[in-house]
Amino acid sequence: MDVINVRSDTQTLPTPAMRLAIANAALGDDTYDEDPTVHEFESLAAEMLGKEAALLVISGTMGNLSALMAHGSPGDEVLLDPESHIFYYEAGGLAGVAGLMPLPVASRRGLLDPADVAAALRPPDIHYPKSRLLCLENTHNRSGGRVTPLALHRELCQLAHDRGLKVHLDGARIFNAAIAAGCSAADYARDVDSIQVCLSKGLGCPLGSFVAGSRQLIDQVDRARKRLGGGMRQAGVIAAAGIYALKNNVARLADDHRRARRLAVQLHELPGLSIDLQCVETNMVYVDHQATGMSSDQFAHRLQAAGIIVSTRPPHQVRMCTHLHHSDEVIDELVARVERVLRRETARR
């Protein structure tokens, strides 16, 4: 039985064409700024985002953390959603490594309200940390891959800048957001001071991310990357995959979105499962299985026994992500397997 892996879009493997690009990459020592393929990649990434410069990093977490370190100093305050990846999934690096003080501002199904952000900002006072940065996330993972509309994004950026804050965008899946919103990634990047983009998710690279911004800021991000142990040598093997992805794998993300919708609609019709179809905007499907009576771990184990790998979102959800290895036939087979799991569970009771 073939395994259907919908745990995450990080599960993608490089295609033969991407592997060939890696094998043929011209290499140099990136720590000495001498890798020609890294130069080519960073120029392409900056151009696609409409920024002066970009910097290749190993991971999205490193990209976010190095950008935060470039923007603020220990004790400075960062406004962000407590459901954001930076706050929830990055091992406390915001505080423990960068020394920054998080000020959580709750989103509403992944969307920040400018009024809530404005209300959270306090006037200068010796008792308060200095507010330095607003962090945004688009698409928003824990709300189901939701997209912040461009108009709302710009309103949030304008508010932050009017109040003297910089804006960092965790745009790990910004190309997904742009395609769903019918605009370009540069449209979202235009109003932020820094943006982090992952190559290893829907774009299909084996590893890597990048940070883009002004040349002055990227120089500071580069220093922060070094402090985090992120200096690299023949990094062109990473950059070559990134070049291939940016040139070939962006437009096809629309297929992942279409298949996620196909998956969501079919699963929503199965007894015991429920999906908020309004939230299925990109390549993620959050499946509510509360009516089955199973815990998230129990449900995930039943699915694994049927050859389906998912990620859990306790207490009563699992997440499924579509990506470049999933055809329409794979989606239909996945639904058929889930239906058999539910029938067996019903019979067992």
Q: Which of 181, 216, 248 is the last residue of a domain?
A: 248
User: Do 222 and 160 sit in the same domain of this protein?
Assistant: yes
Task: Assess if residue 48 is contained within a domain.
Answer: yes
pLDDT of residue 7: 97
State the residue range of the domain holding 260: 252-348
Domain containing 24 — which CATH number? 3.40.640.10
Beta carbons of 197 and 49 less than 8 angstroms apart:
yes
Q: What is the pLDDT of residue 347?
A: 77
φ, ψ for residue 204 (rounded to 5)? 85, 10
Claim to verify: residue 66 and residue 186 sit in the same structural domain:
yes
- What's the number of domains the chain is made of? 2
Do 41 and 104 belong to one domain? yes
Report pLDDT for 345.
Answer: 84
- Residue 118's alpha-carbon distances to 158, 163, 259, in angstroms, are 11, 9, 38
pTM metric for this prediction: 0.96
Q: What pLDDT shows up at residue 348? A: 78
The answer to the question of residue 4 being in a domain is: no
- What span, in angstroms and rounded, lies between the C-alpha atoms of 330 and 322? 10
Of 187, 120, 118, the residue nearest 148 (C-alpha): 187
SS (H, E, C) 122-188: CCCCCCCCCEEEEEEECCEHHHCCECCCHHHHHHHHHHHHHCCCEEEEECCCHHHHHHHHCCCHHHH
How many angstroms separate the CA atoms of 176 and 33, rounded?
A: 31
Last residue of a domain, one of 248, 283, 312: 248
- The CATH number given to whatever domain includes residue 302 is 3.90.1150.10
The verdict on residue 8 lying in a domain is: no
| Residue 97 domain flag | yes
pLDDT score at 40: 98
Q: Report yes or no on 320 lying in a domain.
A: yes
Helix axes 236-248, 36-49, angle to 10 degrees: 40
Residue 9 lies in a domain: no
Residue 3 domain-assigned? no
30 shares its domain with 140: yes
143 and 194, same domain (yes or no): yes
Note whether 210 and 259 are same-domain residues.
Answer: no
Distances (CA, A) of 202 to 26, 38, 174, 293, 325: 25, 21, 10, 32, 10
Report CA Rg, the chain. Answer: 21
Assigned token pair, 37: 């393929």
Residue ending a domain, among 248, 275, 305, is: 248
Within-domain flag for 146: yes
Contact 83, 140 (CB under 8 A): yes
d(C-alpha 311, C-alpha 320), whole Å: 7
**Three-point CA angle 180, 186, 188, nearest 5°:** 60
Query: Is 195 within 8 Å of 189 (Cβ atoms)?
Result: yes
State whether 117 and 262 are in the same domain: no
Low-confidence ranges of the chain (pLDDT < 70): 1, 349
Q: Do residues 130 and 234 share a domain?
A: yes
Q: Based on the fold, state whether residues 259 and 197 are members of the same structural domain.
A: no
Cβ–Cβ under 8 Å, residues 230 and 57: yes
Note whether 137 and 263 are same-domain residues: no
Please give the Cα distance from 224 to 207 (Å, whole number): 19
153 vs 155: CA distance, rounded Å:
5
Q: Same domain, yes or no, for 310 and 175?
A: no
